[in-house]
Structure 1
Amino acid sequence: MRYQAQVRLKGFPPQNATFTRKTDAKRWIQQTEAAIREGRHFKTTESKRRTLAELIDRYISDVLPTKPKSMNAQGRQLTWWKNELGYRPLADVTPALLSETRDKLHQGRQPATVVRYMAALSHAFTVAVNEWEWLEENPLRKVRKPKEPRGRVRFLSESERQKLLVACKSSNCRQLYPVVVLALSTGMRQSEIMGLKWSDIDLNRGYITLHETKNGERRSVPLVGHAKGLISELAKVRRLDTDLLFFSDSKPTAPIFIRSPWGKALKQAAISDFKFHDLRHTAASYLAMNGASLTEIAEILGHKTLQMVKRYAHLSEQHTSKVLESMNSTIFGVGS
């Protein structure tokens, strides 16, 4: 004998279940009614009814368009998860299953890449928990992320910087030199420099306003010294058919592509193991060696936290030593 149990409450879809004992059926009815009235039942129901593929598809269509800068990368990352686990009901996507899949993801990929894949899926889970109520909690929060190696710190020595600037100045690409000087003097990212428009430049105040940044926040960057002089010279001969500072000669409305002249300049200067992004590291390293605090470096580079700039902390040791030496001399006297 089997017992069919049904819960029908106004305003909610009917719920059905079958039991072999009448007492179990009654208990289920009581618990289900209570869960529905308290708003706890349908989250569990959705997680059994929905698959991970449905979650990812909805996230890609509804949420990713609001994140245009990361749309392509996160779309690829989420598609990987979908191909691996998409057929699974959300209720079956457990931390244990995600841990196994993380280990598979780790094969042939760097820890930093794995962390990004996990972060993309984790945000999709968070949206499903908070906004769609498809899950009770984010199962990926219980899964350990692989430890990332310390961030790369490659910066130009004094002689390397001089040789690189000479090579850039003699390049057939006349825009290469001001681009490199701007990167060294401000720590701006290559994408930020290439997207600069004259409307972003305030030569009177000596500031650049970046409207599109990696962290999505508007940022002001001081424009001083040699970099300001170069931009001022460019302003005198700027083209009227484009608002870009650094434009392609063949298509003035598009940014210049400097990969080839940049590579030739590095080769001419005999500099190895150096990328354009390392100019940003160089600017940060010079700031640290000239006494800038981690907070100041983070503000200039546009980092929200100090974690990313801690890699430069050791470069300010000499400055810290001088500060302590000055303080001790004041307190105890020279030679004490």
Structure 2
Amino acid sequence: MASIRQRSGTWQARVRRKGYPDEVASFKTKTEAQTWARSIESAMEHGSHQSIQAAKDVLLSDILQRYRNEVTPSKRGAQREAEGIQFMLRQKIASYSMLNLTPGVVAAYRDERLRTVGAGTIIRELSILSGIISHARKEWGLPTANPCALVRKPQTPPGRTRLLTSEEEARLLAELRPIRRRSSWMVPLVTLALESAMRRGELLSLRWEHINLTAQTAYLPLTKNGTARTVPLSRKAVAILKELPSYSESGVVFPTSHMTMHNCFVAACKRAGIANLRFHDLRHTATSRLAEKLPNVIELAAVTGHQTIQMLKRYYHPKAEAMAQKLG
């Protein structure tokens, strides 16, 4: 049976049950203590409980490092997840033992991060952390509850509607010219993104063996949605590809790294005086431009790779002036 009392400004929960050692934990609120106690009692009733005392010598940093080394490499978004885990490893929260990693500690990390980054970033970080702890509980026998489940996530921010204007495009491309930057891949990379609406990861993983310039198609064996798709290419997109060297040791069309691309893009935007623009905004821009050529939303979704019309609406931003012209 669980007993809960307030002690030294915190709420202490103690669970006693025959056949198990006493389990004790402290929480910031009474609600958190009651929720934790119920989860422990339920696990004891079903025979799946493990003493949380075994978690006192396991640090969050140990769990993060093991997950990064054993699980992350098998994922499609391995590089970005590894970067996120590496960031968390440098934070104070990584020094907590899994026994002391309470919802209050995670909430404090959330609040601290919200001072410097947006809600969307925090939501992604908490999602990564929650997934790692859940994996450790299921696969590695970590005997603790998931504190992230009791932490309120920030409100999901509205979808971005930032589009690149024609005038900004000219300035951006001028700053990306090889004469100004060491990377000669940025201009064709950006222009192809604006022509095809392909995602950044799809562009960087594009291989020559999957491109048919005669049929004007690019085959993507694995996309963000987990499915393959064939992207139709415009004549301008084909011309862009024809101007590129058709061979590289790796076989990829753009033999450059995500970090190099990101740094070049951010620096060029800064030099061009273009504010609040991300590379992914090029996909929004391309989708809106393609919608003028493909008014049929089913055909448009087939090109962009969106599986639902609802998701497509997040990227399709028609101009009110253009729609007014259509209305007459």
Q: Is the 8 A contact 2:194 2:286 kept in 1?
A: yes
Q: Is the 8 A contact 1:171 1:261 kept in 2?
A: no
Q: Is the 8 A contact 2:59 2:95 kept in 1?
A: yes
Which runs of structure 2 are paired with 1:153-164 in the superposition (5 Å)?
Answer: 153-157=161-165, 163=170
SS in 1 for 2:218: strand
Which runs of structure 2 are paired with 1:312-327 in the superposition (5 Å)?
Answer: 312-313=315-316, 315=318
Gaps in structure 1 of 5+ consecutive residues: 1-24, 327-336
What is the CA RMSD across the aligned residues, in angstroms? 4.8
Residue matched to 1:284: 287
User: Deviations along 1:176-196, whole A, 9 cap, x unmatched?
Assistant: 654443211111234543443
- CA displacement at 1:283 relative to structure 2: 0.3
Normalised TM-score (structure 1): 0.62
Identity percentage of aligned residues: 29
Q: Is the 8 A contact 1:167 1:266 kept in 2?
A: no
Residue matched to 2:3: none
Which runs of structure 2 are paired with 1:1-336 in the superposition (5 Å)?
Answer: 28-29=18-19, 38-42=46-50, 44=52, 46-47=54-55, 50-67=58-75, 68-80=78-90, 83-84=92-93, 86-90=95-99, 92-135=100-143, 137-157=145-165, 163=170, 178-211=188-221, 213=223, 217-231=227-241, 233-234=242-243, 238=246, 243-246=251-254, 272-273=274-275, 274=277, 276-289=279-292, 292=295, 300-302=303-305, 309-313=312-316, 315=318
SS in 2 for 1:152: coil
- CA displacement at 1:170 relative to structure 2: 8.6
- CA displacement at 1:143 relative to structure 2: 1.0
Alpha-carbon distance in structure 1 between the residues aligned to 2:111 and 2:281: 31
Alpha-carbon distance in structure 1 between the residues aligned to 2:83 and 2:211: 30
SS in 1 for 2:18: helix
CA change 1:278–1:71 in 2 (3 A) is closer
Alpha-carbon distance in structure 1 between the residues aligned to 2:238 and 2:166: 21
Equivalent pairs counted in the alignment come to 287
Normalised TM-score (structure 2): 0.64
Q: Is the 8 A contact 2:287 2:316 kept in 1?
A: no
What letter corresponds to residue 163 of structure 2 in structure 1? F
Alpha-carbon distance in structure 2 between the residues aligned to 1:135 and 1:117: 22
Q: Is the 8 A contact 1:153 1:281 kept in 2?
A: yes
Q: Is the 8 A contact 1:246 1:256 kept in 2?
A: no
Gaps in structure 2 of 5+ consecutive residues: 1-15, 23-41
Q: Is the 8 A contact 1:288 1:316 kept in 2?
A: no
Higher helix share: 1
CA change 1:261–1:319 in 2 (3 A) is closer
- CA displacement at 1:284 relative to structure 2: 1.7
Report the structure number with the largest CA radius of gyration.
1
Q: Is the 8 A contact 2:168 2:274 kept in 1?
A: no
- CA displacement at 1:207 relative to structure 2: 1.6
The 10-residue stretch of structure 1 (175-184 or 126-135) with the greater mean CA deviation from structure 2:
175-184
